[in-house]
Every structure is written in C-alpha cells, then in structure tokens.
Amino acid sequence: MKFHPIAKAAVALSLLAAPCMAQAPRAASDHFNRGVSLYQKGDFEGAIADFTKAIEISSRLDNRGRGDDWSRKTGAASNFDKVRVLDPLAAAGYANRGLARYHLGDYEGAITDCNSAIAIDPRLSTAYNNRGNARFALKDYDRAIADFNRAIAIDPRDAEAYNNRGNAYVAKEDLDRGIADFDRAIELAPRLVAVYFNRGSARREKGDDGGALKDFEKALALDPRFAPGYYGRAMAMCSRNELDKAIKDFNRAIELDPNYALAYGNRGLALLRQGKDAEAEKDFERAVALKPELKAKLELIVERVRKSRQTNR
C-alpha cells in the first residue's frame, strides 16, 4: 500500500539590502538597515516597524532646507501623505516588509506590500518572487507562476525564482516541469540548499527513491544543520520501509527544529507502522498542537495505516 505522508516545499525568499541612493535620507537608511538586522534575527514585528518608518521617511517630499515658507510660496505640499517621492529605498522597504509579513503568516499583507514595491519599481524582480511565494502559500498557484515568470523574465539567472516556480508546478502535480525548474536552479546556483530538498521531494513522489536520497544527501552535505534535509531523507527511508533509519532522521530534524510539525506527524506514522501506538499518538498530538490544519490529513492517513496493519496480520 502506498502512503502519501504530508510534505512541504522549501521556498527561497529574497531580502533586499539598502540601495545606494544619494536622495535617501540618512534616517531612512538607518531604519531600513535596522529592519534588515531584526529580520535576520527573527524579530519580524520589529522589522516591520523599522521598514515602515524607512518607507515613511523615504517617501516624503524632499524639500529639506527650504522650510515651510518655501511650501507656502510655491504651493507645494509638505505633508508626505499628499506628495511622495518614489524612492528606490521605499520600494525595497515595501518588498522587505512584505517578506516579514509573509513569515508572520500575513500573506495578503505581503501581497499588498509587494504590489506597492512593484508600483514604484516595476523591474524589481525580488518583489515578484516574494509576491509569488505569498500567492503560493494561499494556493493561488497559477498567479504565483505568473509572478515567477515575470521575475525570471527580468532576471533570467534568478535561481530562486526557478526553485519557487518549480514548487508551484509540483503543487499542480506537474512533476516533470517542476523537476526541470529545479534542475535549472541548480545549474545557476549549485549551493542553493532548498532546491535539492525540493527536487528530492519531487523525485520521491515520482517513485525515484534513489534520486531523492542523492538530493537529500547533497542538501545535508551543503548544510548539515538543514532540518528539512533530514526530514526528506527520513521520508525516503519510509518509502523503502527502513523505519528505524527514518525515525533516526526524524529525530535529528526535530532536534534542529523543535517546532517542525511535519516531522512529528510523519515520525508518528513511522512509529505507528512499527506498532508503537502510544509513542505515535504523542507525536500526532504534538504535530496538531503546532499546526492544527494537519489534523484531518493525519487522521485519514492513520486510519489507512491501521487498516493496512490489520490486513497484513
């Protein structure tokens, strides 16, 4: 009996550095750079606050040194809500704020911010890539692919966009086109760890466990602390019915990422197949506590595993 345990693609996300623009006020650049630092530390709410401030400052009409009297004489607005300068720093600020919102699960907010970034700079490929990832998270796969297409059209060597478009094709069950995109991403960026995980997952779905294992091994060779690499290898071991090896890799994935809900869920399935029901139940409870939307899918697979065990007695 073939099981279809739950898996998750590894998306590639792009954080922009501050562009070197003479017109950007120093305060805006300071907030922007602090936002980048907070983002890298995982403080996404703090990053949003700083990116917001950078956007506000860099969007103001640049009438510094002219004073309010200049505004009265010329009739020009001094309120940045009335007249905005379309500064590249603001575009980058919107793109990065959208990325932080993505990490907080605010996918609609991420899309809105990417829209603003694109309105300022229609050739900002990163904004299309990140908007595509938000649409992918919302399962709007066709529009996600359209965004990745645009990112690739702007920058044909954007390995991350190929990786992410490959994920969307796989989600649409077009495994061959997905793998082709993963292949291209690897050609462009041989050290992009996420793409090996994604190609390995697609290969496993096609029944190519050997190819999948090679990809997961490559991901781990590049980054021995890449939890999805252990997870992917564990899934391949489950497909081979090598459950002890699978559980060992699930353990390592969870050690590296204690909130890895999918690893708990699938370790539970491996334990259940070994007849270790009590241990399995603890993993299922932990998985659902971390990610409640897994509950229905897990219950369905658990029922299949139990029926399979009865049949094979």
Domains (range + CATH), the chain = 1-190 (1.25.40.10), 196-313 (1.25.40.10)
pLDDT of residue 223: 97
CA distances from 102 to 81, 99, 161 (A): 26, 5, 16
Cα 20 to its chain centre, rounded Å, is: 27
Name residue, tokens 């489950």. Answer: 238
Q: DSSP of the chain, one letter per residue?
A: --------------PPPPP--TTS-HHHHHHHHHHHHHHHTT-HHHHHHHHHHHHHHHTB---TTTHHHHHHHH-----TTTSB---HHHHHHHHHHHHHHHHTT-HHHHHHHHHHHHHH-TT-HHHHHHHHHHHHHTT-HHHHHHHHHHHHHH-TT-HHHHHHHHHHHHHTT-HHHHHHHHHHHHHH-TT-HHHHHHHHHHHHHTT-HHHHHHHHHHHHHH-TT-HHHHHHHHHHHHHTT-HHHHHHHHHHHHHH-TT-HHHHHHHHHHHHHTT-HHHHHHHHHHHHHH-GGGHHHHHHHHHHHHHHHHHT-
CB atoms within 10 A of CB 204: 23
- State both tokens at 100: 């932080």
Tell me the C-alpha distance between 43 and 180, whole Å: 35
pLDDT of residue 248: 98
Write the pLDDT tens digit of every residue in 12-32. Answer: 666 666 554 444 567 888 999
Q: Which residues pair with 60 in a beta bridge?
A: 84
pLDDT of residue 79: 45
pLDDT of residue 69: 47
Burial grade of 80 (CB within 10 A; 0-12, 13-18, 19 or more): middle
Q: Are 41 and 224 in contact, with CB atoms under 8 Å apart?
A: no
pLDDT of residue 312: 73
Angle of helix 88-103 relative to helix 107-120, nearest 10 degrees, comes to 170
Contacts of 284 by beta carbon, 8 Å cutoff, 6+ apart: 264, 265, 268, 298, 302
pTM of the model: 0.83
pLDDT of residue 71: 42
Low-confidence residues of the chain: pLDDT under 50:
1-7, 20-23, 61-84
